[in-house]
Amino acid sequence: MVVAETNKPHVAVLSSPGMGHIIPLLELAKCLVIDHGIHVSFLNITTEASTAQIQLLHSPTLPLGLDVIDIPAVDISALVSDDTPIVARLSVNVEESLKPLKSILIELGKPQALLIDLFCTQAFDVCKELSIPSYTFFTPSTSFLAFCLYLPTLDREVECEFIDLPEPVQVPGCSPVRTEDLLDQVRNRKIDEYKWFLFHISRLPMSDGILLNSWEDFEPTSHEAIRKHLFYKQIPTPPVFPAGPLIKHDNPELDDECLAWLDKQPLNSVLFVALGSGGTLSAAQLTELAWGLELSQQRFLLVARKPTDASASATFFNVGEDINVNDPKAYLPDGFLKRTKEVGLVVPTWAPQVSVLQHPSTGAFLSHCGWNSTLESMTHGVPMIAWPLYAEQRMNATMLVEEVGVAVKPVGIPGKGVVDREEIERLVRLVLEGEEGNVMRRQARELKVSAVKALEFGGSSHQSLSSVIKEWKIENEISV
């Protein structure tokens, strides 16, 4: 195990499994090392780790001063099955994997702080015992944080299921949440999935601070509410520190097929279709999507993944494992690849998403609205077709459409039946050809400028994160 450099503040970072959690925490870790002179130990839960997770955390390109420490894998086969929902499975994994956490932190010399994600709150108890400050890096949106902080109160005050409420959920100081947009984890309060979710978010006030992967100008209402509304003060809510947008930066090969193809396309002409590291469509929906792309006669870059009718999050725990066996011809409509070869490119499983989004030929992004993908799209000024699949993605989609004005949603919402090809054709044409698409593109580009300002020296996110780091540096000077 690597021991911290005594002349630098040392913090540990802990993420639950899943690329949507690991990527932003790794980006935060890299930011701390490169921009702020912090020594970081990244604690890697190896139980049920995907191929993509292993490759990312053991990449030779990680900066000096960022040490990845593998937590030994444990056998949880008697505790979970393939049918165990995501949050319950993650929580059991974390609970079993963190049994040696106390000894790990002691062996590291008790770092100045431990940063965790939302599903590692079992670590708070260990940190309290060792007198180590603990912070939550909240990887979804600020508006979702406000909802989470309100949920324990809602749980106490409401007797029926939340989806049966006659009115939207009135989150204090924020936009109401329509019941149809509620995340899957809160739709049935009797199951373990809900109990685990409530367990974790009820422990948020145990944090010494909450870091946010967002910036103030992107979600001003939610930031203002959490800081000033009496409800959040009474919880009490820990100090919040917007530190984003922290997004992954690709290192694609120079001869990457996607980028070479994009180089040949006109400015703002291509729809990029990618549904995240864990997202999958049903066979019927993928067929309609393909037909909609073809009927639109617009250029597209489609990241194709084998469909499944089991779950929209079916690949969450095995990201990257099908890259060599995925043949789009086996599940896309007969003749689709041949008929669209002049206007479309289909790649199996993976594409360098950030590099595609920042390419000048990319005009729009059909996305599942995971928060990482949302930030990547906004950071590069690309409007979206919102196609939420699971978790809090429906809430993100509604916010992007109704509050931020950078996205459109299908009339038939995914998850409640198949969106037909005519609707997909309409949306693709609208966002690439129509004036509404141009308006969204201008708004997205304004947010791109805003994001750059937030992260640069003296910007709101840079100052916010620096204020937290200052405390760690003071603590380090005391302990040296």
Segment 45-99, tens digit of pLDDT: 999 999 989 999 999 999 999 999 999 999 999 999 988 998 999 999 999 999 9
Contact of 127 with 232, CB cutoff 8 Å: no
pLDDT average, residue stretch 388-392: 91
pLDDT-derived band of residue 256, with 50, 70 and 90 as boundaries? confident
In the block, residue with structure tokens 């004005």: 405
How confident is the model over 418-453, as pLDDT tens digits? Answer: 999 999 999 999 999 999 999 999 999 999 999 999
Is residue 271 over pLDDT 70?
yes
* Contact criterion met (CB below 8 Å) for 264 and 290: no
Read off the amino acid at residue 52: A
Local confidence band at 280 (pLDDT 50, 70, 90 cut-offs): confident
CA distances from 237 to 188, 211, 221, 279, 468 (A): 26, 12, 16, 32, 16
Cβ(162)–Cβ(184) under 8 Å?
no
Q: Does the pLDDT at position 2 exceed 80? A: no
Cα of first residue to Cα of last residue in the chain, in angstroms, is 20
| Angstrom distance (rounded) from CA 357 to CA 269 | 12
Question: Average per-residue pLDDT in the chain?
Answer: 93
Nearest alpha-carbon partner for 410 in 387, 389, 442: 387
Q: Please state which CATH class domain 257-452 belongs to.
A: alpha beta
Among residues 431, 450, 428, the alpha carbon closest in space to that of 439 is found at: 431
Q: Is the pLDDT of residue 307 over 80?
A: yes
Q: Identify whether the C-beta of residue 293 lies closer than 8 Å to the C-beta of residue 344.
A: yes
Could you read off the pLDDT of 136-154 as tens digits, one per residue?
999 999 999 999 999 999 9
Query: Percentage helix, strand, coil, to 5, in the chain?
Result: 45, 15, 40
Q: What's the average model confidence in pLDDT over 195-206?
A: 98
**What pLDDT score does 415 carry?**
57
SS (H, E, C) 199-255: HHHHCHHHCCEEEECCCCCCCHHHHHHHHHCHHHHHCCCCCEEECCCCCCCCCCCCC
The pLDDT of 336-348, averaged and rounded, is 96
pLDDT at 394 over 90: yes
Q: Give the DSSP H/E element, type plus range, for residue 39.
A: strand 39-45
CA distance 379 to 357: 9
Per-residue tokens: 476? 């380090």
Residue 123 has a pLDDT of 98
Cα 241 from Cα 470, distance rounded (Å): 13
Q: Is the peptide bond before 176 cis (omega within 30 degrees of 0)?
A: no
3-class secondary-structure state, position 366: strand
Q: What is the pLDDT, as a whole number, of residue 323?
A: 54
Helical packing angle, 435-455 and 371-379, nearest 10°: 90
In the chain, where are the structural domains located? 10-248+456-479, 257-452
- Determine the average pLDDT of the residues in 272-290: 92
Tokens linked to 4: 């911290």
Kind and range of the H or E run holding 14: strand 10-15
Q: pLDDT, tens digit, for every residue of 205-220?
A: 999 999 999 999 999 9
Give the residue numbers annotated as catalytic, written as ranges: 21, 117
pLDDT at 274: 97
Taking 90 as the threshold, does the pLDDT of residue 350 lie above it?
no
- Residue 158 is predicted with a pLDDT of 97
Task: Give me the architecture of the 10-248+456-479 domain, per CATH.
Answer: 3-Layer(aba) Sandwich (3.40)
Angle between helix 460-479 and helix 435-455 axes, rounded to 10 deg = 30
What is the DSSP secondary structure assignment for residue 2, as one 8-state letter? P
Looking at the predicted structure, is the pLDDT value of residue 317 above 80?
Answer: no
Residue 4 scores a pLDDT above 70: no
* Residue 258 confidence (pLDDT) above 60: yes
Please give the sequence-ordered ranges of beta strands (E in DSSP) within 267-332, or none if there are none. 270-274, 299-304
Confidence of residue 255 (pLDDT cuts 50, 70, 90): low
pLDDT of amino acid 316: 52
Q: Do domains 10-248+456-479 and 257-452 have the same CATH topology?
A: yes
CB 286 within 8 A of CB 331: yes
* Alpha carbon separation from 81 to 17, 313, 317 (Å, rounded): 16, 15, 12
- Taking residues 176-191, what's their average pLDDT? 95
Confidence check: pLDDT of 44 > 90: yes
Give 246's pLDDT tier (boundaries 50, 70, 90): very high
Q: Is 154 left (phi over 0), alpha (psi -120 to 50) or beta?
A: alpha
168 in Cβ contact with 179 (< 8 Å): yes
Overall size of the chain counted in residues = 480
pLDDT at 203: 98
Whole-number pLDDT of residue 278: 73
How far is residue 108's CA from residue 12's CA, in Å, rounded to a whole number? 9
Q: What is the DSSP string of 398-451?
A: HIIIIII--EE--SS-TTSSPPPHHHHHHHHHHHHHSHHHHHHHHHHHHHHHHH
pLDDT band at residue 299 using 50, 70 and 90 as cut-offs: very high
